[in-house]
Structure 1
């Protein structure tokens, strides 16, 4: 059945967006070549698809926030999965209430167009929209995850699941994890089709987190082509391919389809514990030996780190126990930290682990600039930078075998030509507005990719 609601409402142009979390351009290209993505291979021939850059730091919460606002973190205020309260050592998980910018669907809704949004990261708690919204994986339960509130009852009847249980991925037996992934995918697709058929909408978006979940725990087996779950990994992606084929078959000729990912993926060689390096080098000192919280740092500390590779100078007048003077001393500390990080090597292989170190003013700007980390360490492929404390060694490899990459996301737009080869995820929001003939707000950082 084709979704004709837009035609009944006057034949307006409509857009559907599918977000596949953490699916690399290079992987899609390979799966098309190996006929795992038989439907996507045909679909991508009917439009334009290109490699896309993500954001720094390369975290889903930051990337999707940049997607939905068309802005850098200095404007939307989301810098990581875990952020720091300004002028404190307190950390928190940022929610939609912490986002300081209007979203794509809010801009669209103000023009009178109706929107439907499902599961996009940093949409909990659900903000009011002209239509409906189902919150993301951060939602504590379904009854608190929807706007309007009464939508939760229908989702419950449909068996909708907010997310898989990622802790199952850490078990040696991955079968329950895979069963959970497949169940959540099936329920999400069915709910998406139901809402698209029974609700009126001009813009509709569904995000799929399961792709990122399976990549973290099974990417290495897929890449090596061996292991007990390598085949199951590809079977899951075949279901993704079939889901998108089912969506395409339901769209009318006035609806443009876009498919994108927020970052790439690669096999994880090692986790790198930046705070261990800071402690070892005398940059970070604790009041006692129990290094469980940044709150416990000693006033002699000059720097500390949060995931992934965000470095904060312990600045006098900004941090409660600040020791580094603003001005020349601050710049000297940043320079020394950047030089030391650039020289970090794998203790076993001798391989360099840091690609580059970026100053915050080089990539961030806006009203939320003060919350930005002072430095961002960008890892080389395979080295996942962590902010964990009390780690006995600099590096380790545990249950996670895949990690995010900055340079290998992708964007596909059906029936359109993407006009630039170099672009990032912040450019997608103004592109969708262009497709809908909605004016682009003047404070958006991204630029439309279609004429």
Structure 2
């Protein structure tokens, strides 16, 4: 700050006077002298202020906008072309750098490190999938479904029955005091009978209409989060849609809407439905790897009655079956017992799945949807508004807290065949059986401000296009609908300006990257020049939209706010898939008892059946290693795996080295390229990890390669390398992290180079003036 003191030119006639004849000074001279002295003192104060003590911490607020999968190559290309003026301005005024990602560069892995400042070995989120401890079965690494007691669990009927008896007995006893003396004995007898009957009825009601257990969710991420640490130190925080924040975390001085990890109402990552009268579509979906619920319609015109596939009735069907099986004596036939219990439940009218009747009226050029007392008429290409769906359990549950969801339809065609799309069914914002917002009821409180909004953690449907259903317009329209509501949230909250720490993650940059790369890469197996000419420009539009979001955010922020824009990883083309289990078999590391199994889908991660066995065809006695997940390889280690064959120590290291050498030297016979850039030992990637949990090796692909679709779920396809013939054509998950860094823009300049995503946590703490977290892996770049 510079203070310039200017003095207007004035001329005074100063005459020497004796003491005896000292006349008063002119008034204007006195006033001018005072003004001059005041200016001098003021200037001195301002000049000395910096020396008087430390300045207050600046800036007072931090806003972080995350864009999942925003690729630095595309960002730099579009900035150079003048397409991203707001990000370009942020780069000039502050900083732009490529941001080193995690190993592996996967969304839940990277954002977990962003959230905690520690490496994936310590967060224990090191892949989308991991083994269930003590088995060969995969499960989602972010979190798993559990159970928790409802009210008092198995004691609920007894507690409520006893409570009902006590309440009625107390009321009756009180009434007896007012009864005439001769009738008190009768009144007391009536009271006792009524209380006993009421208690018994209440207990019966609790037994037949209330569950003992209800679903719960367990987040496996370890480490203290940035927002929790800030909140614990007095900073008000708001966190929107950060991946792997489900269930919603308690933030004493803040708010949260969970991101990736929130399931749909069926407990899936997102399971859309597709209704069609085209018999050929069913055959095309025979190998449905994306959990699409296909419903075949009986006709192509007129009145049709079908169903909306609802959630599983776990508390009243699956859990009683599980309890019955758990009580079996050793050696009893579990399959027969399961069948018996299921038939008993069905005879009582208990359904395993809570479907809803759906009526369709197909006319020449439109279709009418009737569902849950709601009706909308659609023409081809038109989306419906939200349908609010209530899935009936029983009259008591429905009345107290019924299962509510929201979904939208899109009519794709009525001729020659009906094709009707139903989005994944989101939890209604006012129905949180497991909290996806904090504080309690926060999502519901937003309804009056924002209207209905998606709650699903994977909100943009990539599964339907990847299965070859719908078209580019379906995806683009769904993306626009989703992002508009997210933009509305951001605008509303930033205008409000109450949060010192504001974090919001958009995921549309990732989702379009997965589906659109085939339109940008002429060497991709699915590249079509006609489609590329029509749709390739949508990628640029998505990045321009990202830039517009940044510009609107900057316009809403008061001076002194630090703005940070980042992504967790970039992208590369996914032309060919590398099947690691096939390579292991053909190179003697894995042995099969019979031929490879069939095609697996995401649904297998949920519906494991009785045994939950994935590798049924593997001869574990002769198997030294197996692959599961997105590039992770496990040694079949004795003492850790249930049927381990490799001894710890020298043999373990020999197996690892042999696999490293073999994979890194392998050449794709079709392209002459190395599909695997590098194989990492776990200790090269992480420190402080649990050796019983973390995979022994990770194979990192080179550009244009990714792990094969079936290898991720433990299968053994026929070929080691195969073309990727799916619309899901861009990826990053199993690629070497050096090839797919993220982006980092900051309104404040960095004091060092080569920032990593783990460094954001301590950097934000420094800006906010908060104490550091001891022992984290990140280091501040401010």
TM superposition score category, shorter chain reference: over 0.9
Task: Determine the C-alpha separation between the residues in 2 that align with 1:153 and 1:197.
Answer: 20
Alignment check: 8 A CA contact 1:32 1:41 kept: yes
Q: Name the larger-Rg structure.
A: 2
Matches within 5 A, 1:287-302: 287-289=593-595, 291=597, 294-296=614-616, 297-299=618-620, 300-302=622-624
Which region of structure 1 is more displaced relative to structure 2, 148-157 or 241-250? 148-157
Equivalent of 2:582, from 276, 295, 299?
Answer: 276
Instruction: Give matches, 1:206-285, under 5 Å.
Output: 206-222=504-520, 226-285=532-591
- More displaced, 227-236 or 14-23? 227-236
Segments of 5+ residues of structure 2 without an aligned counterpart are: 1-56, 144-217, 264-426, 523-528, 601-612
Residue among 157, 181, 190 paired with 2:479 = 181
**Offset at residue 398 of structure 1 (A):** 2.3
- CA 1:305 to 1:135, structure 2 compared with 1: closer, same or farther past 3 Å? same
Write the distance in 2 (CA, Å) between the matches of 1:195 and 1:397. 42
Q: Distance in 2 between matches of 1:52 and 1:149?
A: 35
* Inter-CA distance 156–346: structure 2 relative to 1 (3 Å threshold): farther
State the SS of the aligned residue for 2:660. Answer: helix
The 1-side partners of 2:719 and 2:533 are apart by 28
Is 1:107 aligned to residue 229 of structure 2? yes
Quote the offset at 1:286 in angstroms: 4.0
Alpha-carbon distance between aligned partners in 2 of 1:351 and 1:337, rounded to the nearest angstrom: 18
Give, in whole Å, the separation in 2 of the partners of 1:11 and 1:331: 51
Is contact 1:127-1:147 (8 Å) kept?
yes
Shift of residue 178, structure 1, vs aligned partner: 0.7
Which secondary structure state, in structure 2, belongs to the residue aligned with residue 412 of structure 1? strand
Q: Show the counterpart of 1:205.
A: 503
- Secondary structure of 1:392's counterpart equals coil
Paired position in structure 1 for 2:731: 403
Distance in 2 between residues matched to 1:27 and 1:235, nearest whole Å: 12
- Are the aligned partners of 1:12 and 1:202 in contact in 2 as well (CA < 8 Å)? no
What TM-score, normalized by structure 1, do the two folds share?
A: 0.92
CA distance in 2, matches of 1:80, 1:341: 20
| Counterpart secondary structure, 1:44 | helix
Local SS of the residue matching 2:779: coil
Structure 2 CA distance for aligned equivalents of residues 198 and 253 of structure 1: 15
Describe the superposition over 1:200-230 as per-residue Cα deviations: whole angstroms up to 9, x where unpaired.
Answer: 3111111111111100110242355934311
Structure 1 partner of 2:134: 87
| Secondary structure, aligned partner of 1:228 | helix
Partner of 1:136: 259
Specify the SS of the correspondent of 1:15: strand
Q: Is the 8 A contact 1:74 1:369 kept in 2?
A: no
Distance 2:92 2:628 in 1: 42
1:85: how far off? Answer: 2.6
Whether the aligned pair in 2 keeps the contact of 1:155 and 1:191 (CA below 8 Å) is no
Does 92-101 or 308-317 show the bigger shift? 92-101
Among candidates 765, 769, 778, match of residue 433 of structure 1: 765
Distance 1:122 1:71 in 2: 15
Q: Which segment is superposed worse, 315-324 or 121-130?
A: 121-130
Deviation, structure 1 residue 88: 2.3
Match of 2:716 among 372, 390, 415: 390
Counterpart in the other structure of 1:413: 746
**2:86 is matched with which residue: 7, 16, 39?**
39
Q: Give the Cα–Cα distance (whole angstroms) in 2 for the partners of residues 97 and 56 of structure 1.
A: 20
Q: What is the CA distance between 1:43 and its match in structure 2?
A: 2.4
Q: Distance in 2 between matches of 1:367 and 1:259?
A: 30
Q: Deviations over 1:10-34 (max 9, x none)?
A: 9971111011111122211111112
SS at match of 1:217: helix
Give 2:241's match in structure 1, choosing from 113, 119, 128. 119
Pick from 736, 755, 760 the counterpart of residue 423 of structure 1.
755
Task: Provide, for residues 24-80 of structure 1, a one-character-per-residue CA deviation record: whole Å limited to 9, x for no partner.
Answer: 222111111122212222222210111121111111110111111111112111111
Displacement of 1:156 after TM fit?
Answer: 4.2
Give distance in 1, aligned partners of 2:535 and 2:102.
31
Report the Cα offset of residue 356 of structure 1. Answer: 1.2
C-alpha distance 20-424 of structure 1, shift in aligned 2 (>3 A): same
Q: Does 1:323 find its partner at 2:656?
A: no
Q: How many residues are paired up?
A: 440
1:418/1:259 Cα in 2 relative to 1: closer, same or farther (>3 Å)?
same
Tell me how far apart the structure 1 counterparts of residues 761 and 614 of structure 2 sit (CA, whole Å): 36
Q: Which runs of 5+ in 1 are unaligned?
A: 1-9
Q: How big is the shift at 1:357?
A: 1.2
1:151 aligns with 2:432: no
The answer to whether structure 1 residue 372 and structure 2 residue 665 are counterparts is: no
Q: TM-score, normalised by structure 2?
A: 0.54
Superposed counterparts of 1:331-342, under 5 Å: 331-342=653-664
